[in-house]
A and B are shown apart, each in its own frame.
Chain A
Amino acid sequence: MSANLLEIKNLHVHYITDDGTAKAVNGIDLALKPGESLGLVGETGAGKTTSALSVLRLVPNPPGKIIEGEINFNGENLLKKREREMRRIRGNKISMIFQDPMTSLNPVFTVGRQIAENVALHQNVSIKKGIERAREMLELVEIPGGRVYDYPHEFSGGMRQRVLIAMALACNPALIIADEPTTALDVTIQAQVLEIIKGLMEKVKTSLIMISHDLGVVREVSERVAVMYAGQIVEVGSIRSVFQNHKHPYTIGLFGSIPDIDDRESTRLKPTPGLMPDAMELPEGCPFHPRCPEAMKKCSEETPESVEIDERHFVSCFLYS
């Protein structure tokens, strides 16, 4: 009996190209309870988006391939589903909000029509009923309902992103995956969108996976946070536990890299030197060991298991095992 809405177990995703195999995701485990919100943070190429796309089975194939693992959603393994079954889940039970609101909307249809299409398809109602629903959804994200007849170009960037949120919520999904939804927005507009996401999380009982490179954004909307590095989750726990008591040397370097606006002295930043390894040439053992200030001999030979150091706070590092 599991109370988890989503359980990812030992997921491996590779991109197989003529130049070699990029190991984008290397054995991640993740669990999400109904109504819970999780932030997935990491730098470019850490495997955040690939992990998220795997849940929807949208990893482009070829070159992408889910090598092994399980993704259980409501107890059913999504990786065993047929494509036809997946189509009934996407946009219905699980929906996704992409980063770029400019390219995720179709410019030749009104936004109402685009939201309605989704509703009509999944809930077997007429487009007219769907437009009604679209109107409600727009109002939920604080856009006047009358604007269902407007085209995407008539909205600003922040409003388009809200339209996408409305669309994602239209079928009452159990899980929303938002991939950097505010990255393309200015900070005052980002604040508007985050405020709306927070408000909605309280109103509708949806789980959220928020992918972001910005720890501040994740902190705003999530209860838990998972830190990814080179295709692995190196640390995961509650926001409070991870933000106050991060243990993995990579997480420590990540927090040390952020200019803190509340630090009046502007203390010199303490980033981890070097770069994340290329996914085609991952080092043996712990992927962080070549950059790690605490690296031991063991770290280049074996991959560390994840250890629970506090309640539901896990770290994958030999320093703690």
Chain B
Amino acid sequence: MPDKLLEIKDLKKYFPTKQGLLHAVDGVNFDINRGETLGLVGESGCGKSTTGRLLLRLLSATGGEILYEGEDISTFNRKKMKEFATKAQMVFQDPFSSLDPRMSVADIIGEPLRVNRVYKSSKERKRKIEEMMEFAGIASRLINSYPHELDGGRRQRVGIARALVLNPDFLVLDEPVSALDVSIQAQILNLFEDLQDEFELTYLFIAHDLSVVKHVSDRIAVMYMGQIVEYADFDKVIYEPLHPYTQALVSAIPRIHLDDKRERIILEGDVPSPVNPEPRCRFYGRCQERKEICQEQEATLKEIEPGRFVNCLLRE
């Protein structure tokens, strides 16, 4: 039996807007096993970042449960929440706006230590900061630098060092490399791999780039309009996708192989609005295989073989 670190059950988050209720996350179910990387992939506005924030209780859910080591995080009191915050951390997309411009590298990395009064002496704290900088690949001479003096890759490393300084078990990585150039992106992806081995970390890796997600993930969940449409081991999702949306998404990726003769599936139209969605399959409007039944009822995520989940009425 896999050791489940997180279980997410029927998670919902609605935002009231002038036009109506925006269903950002609408009945999401998945688990994250200890030590694995779960990739959460989807296009802008599909609800992937909202899901990541809900998991750390940076947002409170409209409905559903998030169990961390079997306990519902929505029931945590102040003390319990503080403890949870040391175990579960986040790395943000934009290394330009997620670091305080008035704090030095040492202040940024050391802040969680200071807030949680981990060390009594500032000397010990400094030693820990230096150790984290080394793990994150930041030259020690940069300890008193400010974010504006660093390039995007180094800033992202500072964000990673800060996330790791309290020895967490679980990290939500929200588009952690999408603002970076490809060679810097590769350096950071390798760093995530090394840190996972070193500290036995569990990752939720959120990204829109399916090639990147495939590269890092053990399992992949694909989101569309607030729902998970497909969720399985990475090779199943990438090489034998079942949901029509996943099939289109995989085929749309520009390949670097010249002998690639893949038929592109070009979807019509754009992602529809998640405000007051109609009670039918969310993908109905763009699906190439849509049938009568797809507009009569909503599709739900079903396990069609062990460990392989698809949200499609035509695949049941």
Chain A residues with CB under 8 Å of chain B are 43-44, 156-159, 186-192, 194-195, 213-217, 219-220, 239-240, 243-244, 253-262, 264, 266, 268-273, 275
Contact = CB atoms under 8 A, between A and B. Distances in A.
Q: 8 tightest CB-CB pairs across the interface, nearest first?
A: A216-B254, A259-B215, A257-B186, A271-B186, A191-B252, A186-B43, A43-B181, A269-B186
B100 interface: no
Interface in B77-99: none
Given A195-B266, A213-B181, A271-B186, A259 B43 contact: no
Interface stretch (B59-67, B108-116, B257-265): B257-265
A192 B267 contact: yes
Given A158-B270, A191-B266, A258-B211, A216 B256 contact: yes
Interface size class of B (residues with CB under 8 A): 35 or more
Interface string B102-136: 00000000000000000000000000000000000
Contacts, number: 114
B193 to A, nearest CB: 7
A59 to B, nearest CB: 22
B182 A258 contact: yes
A273 B257 CA distance: 24
Nearest to A42: B181
Contacts of B264: 191, 195
Interface string B215-227: 1100000000000
A254 B183 contact: yes
B303 interface: no
25 contacts: A43-B184, A186-B44, A187-B43, A187-B209, A187-B253, A188-B266, A192-B267, A195-B264, A195-B266, A215-B256, A216-B254, A216-B256, A217-B254, A244-B258, A257-B182, A258-B182, A259-B212, A260-B257, A261-B211, A266-B215, A266-B216, A268-B193, A269-B189, A271-B183, A271-B186
Nearest to B42: A186
A260 B252 contact: no
B271 A186 contact: yes
Given A188-B267, A258-B182, A262-B257, A273 B252 contact: no
B208 interface: yes
